[in-house]
Amino acid sequence: MSPLREHLRDTFWFAPALGLVCVCALWWAASALDARIVGALRDEGAFDEVGDLVAFAEDAKTIVTTISSAMMTFVGVVFSISLVAVQMASGGFTPRVVRIFVRSRITKVTLTVFLATFLFSLLVLTQYDSTSDPRRVTTVPLVQSVLVMLMVVLSLLLFIVYVSSTLRLMQVGPVVDRVARESFRVLARQPGGEPDREPLGPESGRIAHRGRAGVLRDVNVARLVRAARREGVVLRLVPRIGDFVVPGTPVLAVHGTGAPPRRALRYTVSVGVDRTSHQDLGFGLRQLSDIGLRALSPAVNDPTTAVQCLDRIVQFLAAVVEMPLGAVHHRDRDGAVRLVQDVPEWADLVDLGFTEIRGFAAGSPQVSRRLLAGIDDLLLLAPADRREPLVRHRALLVQAVERTVPEAAERAFALLPDHQGIG
């Protein structure tokens, strides 16, 4: 269910649609309860109490009518402003951070409660009886009116939380922190342990992609492992997560005798128009690099934002500096390797995190000093076989600063490692 859950989180319609279905069920239950209350009072002959309920409901009807007429206007104004805020944030950071707003739980919950309150108030208005004679009244929307008022209170509370959350997501720090936390969640889902060094055996065939062209977003690992186990073969994912695939190109290689039938591989490969962070180990670094690169552009010229991105890039690289990379081996319940999936190597991650920011760091002492401090920290943590890409980036940064900065004193200042850039 993990791929399905992630795909639904990337949509903006599922939560409101589910909320509207639930509120219809709630209205049906509340209306049945109201009818039972009135029926019990009529059976007992307590018509005076029924009249009191009718009077209360008539007073509440004005409130419910006001709520139903004002809620949709309120929803339109609030989310129109929100869309403008999202557009400004995507222009200031990178268009890829829009998915943070789309996946925000508080945004979906707020929209769901607003729409549910509007629909529930309309349904409650249909339950008001045209007669006020207690002997002829069949139902009084007492419970429903109370629920409408409670939903209005909940809507106001959620509105305060939603505004606070939206304002936070317009700031650099929370956005960078959210991207970093998503990257660490992907890292936590990676299978641990050393990869199997035994050869996979001869390749017996390849399975071509027959869907639409697009970015490989994720794969259903459990289903692929089951399909490979039934046939006694090992499957190898040919493209990496995040690669663009077109119909007819190989997507799976089969090692062993036989091949899973095409029907067993349905819905195992998800292709879309954008990358997601569900299984993409390098997508977080891609977003952080884009934000830092845009901050260093002449049009923005915000080196402090680039330093904040470098903080998270160094944090992520420090977490993977000793992890086995290059290939992930997924095993069945008997411990046999059934699916091999390529992931970025250590050098790939270092290049992704540092290359583009390093290209603009020579003209900003704050960024060059922070980048040197981050590389030095990683050199202390990295084993000997993983120091080469770090040493290479450090040497290239020093050369770029020496070419760009003519004054010796300024060069020495720009090449002094500093964890705050200019602390």
Structure confidence by residue, pLDDT tens digits, 67-116: 888 888 888 877 787 777 777 777 778 777 777 887 888 888 988 999 99
At residue 41, the pLDDT reads: 62
User: For the chain, how many structural domains are there in total?
Assistant: 2
Nearest residue to 41 via CA among 32, 30, 53, 27: 53
272 within some domain: no
Q: Is 386 part of a structural domain of the chain?
A: yes
Rounded mean pLDDT of 230-249? 90
* Mean per-residue pLDDT over the chain, rounded: 84
Domain boundary among 139, 155, 170: 170
pLDDT of 199 higher than 50: yes
What pLDDT score does 354 carry?
Answer: 95
- pTM for this model (two decimals): 0.83
Q: Considering 138, 170, 202, which residue would you say is the last residue of a domain?
A: 170
Same domain, 11 and 149: yes
In a domain, 251, yes or no: no
pLDDT of 34 over the 60 cut: yes
Residue 33, domain extent? 2-170
Clarify whether residues 157 and 301 are in a common domain: no
In a domain, 208, yes or no: no
Residue 382 covered by a domain: yes
Is 323 domain-assigned? no
Count Cβ atoms below 10 Å from residue 317 Cβ, excluding itself: 24
Q: What CA–CA distance (Å, rounded) separates 108 from 148?
A: 20
- Own/partner pairs, 396-404, CB within 8 angstroms, 24+ separation: 396/358, 397/358, 397/361, 397/362, 397/368, 397/371, 397/372, 400/358, 400/359, 400/361, 400/362, 401/361, 401/362, 401/368, 403/362, 404/362, 404/363
Residue 169 has pLDDT above 60, yes or no: yes
401/404 Cα distance (integer angstroms): 5
* pLDDT recorded at residue 389: 95
The verdict on residue 206 lying in a domain is no
Residues 159 and 13 in one domain: yes
Structural domain contains residue 259: no
Question: Bigger pLDDT: 404 or 56?
Answer: 404
**293 and 165 in one domain?**
no
Regarding whether 156 and 29 lie in a shared domain, the answer is: yes
Of 153, 170, 187, which marks where a domain is finished? 170
Residues 7 and 139 in one domain: yes
